[in-house]
Amino acid sequence: MAWRGSVLRWVKTEIITSQKRTVPDSRLNPHNQQRCGFRREAKRPDTKKGRSDPNGPPPEAPAPAAPRPPRAPRPTLLRPLVFTVGFTGCSFGAAAILQYETLKSRVQTARDEEEAEKLLQGSHDMTYWHEWWKQLSSFQRQLILMMSVVDDFWSSLTEGQRTVSGIIAVNVAVLCCWRIPSMQRSMIKYFTSNPASKTRCLPMILSSFSHYSIIHMVANMYVLWTFSSGIVSLLGKEQFLAVYMSAGVISSMVSYTCKTATGRLYPSLGASGAVMAVLAAVCAKVPEAKLGIIFLPMVTFTAGNALKALVVMDAAGLILGWRLFDHAAHLGGALFGIWYVAYGHKLIWRKREPLVKLWHDLRSSGPGGSRPGRGPGVSGAGPGPR
């Protein structure tokens, strides 16, 4: 046991000696290393303004100012102008051909109905139709009755109201397309007119059938429905369609011009320009007609005064820079409607006869047609009946 006690005393003596030796070294280990990691930088000598240290580094030059972004060039309107002239001419040319085809179809339909009445006359009596009605199922009878009601309602409308029904249906369909999220980009590209856009010609037509707000569409279509009977009875169905389509493109062209001149390049849409042309044409042709407000039926005014007030309001909005409506498109449509009633009908529509004659010759000389001096579809050389 004596050797064990001597060994323990020797171990304790070595531990105490080693601790005394490591005390000064421990002051440099973690604490000193942490301080060395955060040494303070030497202070730079302060120099007064306007003086520089000859031995020091040269002063830094000031950073150059950022260059101004180049101004976007104003869009050129040559292509939209050419498109407007070409589309207007094609609209009236197509309307003249459509009128020719409509008259021809009416004549042929009247002949067919007359021949059908002669064939059916005396062949069937009321007993036949009574037995035929009994053989139908209840669903077929209800379907026939519903079709009869729709036909009666359609027949009760004027020709102008039947004509604008198609325009209203197209506007409703485009309004529904605006509510589809996946079509938003295409709708903005093709159904809004903007002179700064890459696609500028086609939206001049499509934007005339485009409305994003339901109130905007209802207001425009109500005015169009109200004045449809007067404008169609004044111009006819085909000529009205040509005026309406042309007014939409011309009003967009006027809007392009004003936006480019003022630098306010923003998109616009709506049928207001074309509707203003219809309204202005009727008011200019019948200035003494009495008009009223739907919510204030006791307030009446003449059509001429209403047209003057609308033109003055849109002119003021264009000069003062109002952004509530596209006043340039409104004013362009109204001026086009007034001009067409005063001069355009004589300069354009009354000179359609050469085009109609050319179309008639092309139709007659085509396959299945009738050439001059020949019957329809006859290829012989002998003269036919006149």
CATH of the domain at 237: 1.20.1540.10
Q: Domain for residue 118, yes or no?
A: no
Cβ–Cβ under 8 Å, residues 158 and 232: yes
Q: Which of 9-13, 100-104, 125-129, 341-345 has the lowest mean pLDDT?
A: 9-13
Range ranked top by mean pLDDT from 1-15, 36-50, 253-267, 298-312: 253-267
CA-based angle 36:42:45, to the nearest 5? 175
Q: Helix or strand or coil: residue 227?
A: helix
Residues 6 or more apart whose Cβ sits within 8 Å of residue 47: 53, 56
C-alpha torsion 251→255→261→266, nearest 10: -170
pLDDT at 48: 45
Cα–Cα distances in angstroms (integers) from residue 291 to residues 224, 271, 296, in the given order: 14, 21, 11
Cβ–Cβ under 8 Å, residues 256 and 195: yes
pLDDT 10s digits, 187-239: 999 999 999 888 889 999 999 999 999 999 999 999 999 999 989 998 999 99
Q: Domain for residue 42, yes or no?
A: no
Average pLDDT over every residue of 105-122: 74
Residue with tokens 């004045």: 227
Provide, rounded to the nearest whole percent, the portion of the chain with pLDDT above 70: 71
Active site residues: 272, 330
Cβ–Cβ under 8 Å, residues 245 and 83: no
Q: Which run of H or E residues covers position 300? A: strand 300-302
pLDDT 10s digits, 247-296: 999 999 999 999 998 888 888 998 999 999 999 999 998 888 877 776 66
Q: Domain for residue 310, yes or no?
A: yes
Q: Which two tokens stand for residue 98?
A: 């459509």
Average pLDDT over every residue of 2-15: 47
Q: Helix or strand or coil: residue 179?
A: coil
pLDDT at 127: 74
Residues 6 or more apart whose Cβ sits within 8 Å of residue 272: 220, 251, 325, 326, 329, 330, 333
The string of DSSP letters for 47-83 reads --TT---TTSPPPPPPPPPPPPPPPPPPPP-HHHHHH
Cβ–Cβ under 8 Å, residues 336 and 246: yes
Q: Rounded CA gap, 210 and 226, in Å?
A: 20
pLDDT at 50 over 80: no
Q: Domain for residue 100, yes or no?
A: yes
Residue-number span of the structural domain to which 250 is assigned: 77-105+157-361
Q: What's the whole-number average pLDDT of the chain?
A: 78
Q: Domain for residue 147, yes or no?
A: no
Q: Domain for residue 257, yes or no?
A: yes
Residues in the chain: 386
Residue with tokens 């179309």: 359
Cβ–Cβ under 8 Å, residues 262 and 191: no
* CA Rg value for the chain: 43
pLDDT at 132 over 70: yes
The string of DSSP letters for 145-159 reads HHHHHHHHHHHHS-H
Q: Domain for residue 193, yes or no?
A: yes
Q: Rounded CA gap, 247 and 203, in Å?
A: 14
Cα–Cα distances in angstroms (integers) from residue 210 to residues 36, 172, 203, in the given order: 74, 9, 10
Range ranked top by mean pLDDT from 30-34, 242-246, 323-327, 352-356: 242-246
pLDDT at 122: 54
Q: Helix or strand or coil: residue 280?
A: helix
Q: Domain for residue 384, yes or no?
A: no
Q: Which two tokens stand for residue 359?
A: 């179309």
Average pLDDT over every residue of 97-122: 79
pLDDT at 322: 80
Helix axes of 214-235 and 159-178: crossing angle, nearest 10 degrees? 150
Q: Which residues of 299-327 are buried (b: 16+ CB within 10 A; e: fewer)?
A: eeeebeebbeebbeebeebbeeeeeebbb
pLDDT band at 80 (very low <50, low <70, confident <90, very high): very high
pLDDT at 121: 59
Euclidean distance between the first and the last CA atom of the chain, given in angstroms as a whole number:
155
pLDDT at 123: 53
Q: Helix or strand or coil: residue 193?
A: strand
Q: Which two tokens stand for residue 279?
A: 């309204």
Provide, rounded to the nearest whole percent, the portion of the chain with pLDDT above 90: 38
Cβ–Cβ under 8 Å, residues 317 and 337: no
pLDDT 10s digits, 138-186: 888 889 889 988 888 888 888 999 999 999 999 999 999 999 999 999 9
User: Per the structure, how many domains does the chain have?
Assistant: 1
Q: Which two tokens stand for residue 97?
A: 């051909």
Q: Rounded CA gap, 112 and 126, in Å?
A: 23
pLDDT at 37 over 60: no
Q: Which residues pair with residue 216 across a beta bridge? A: none
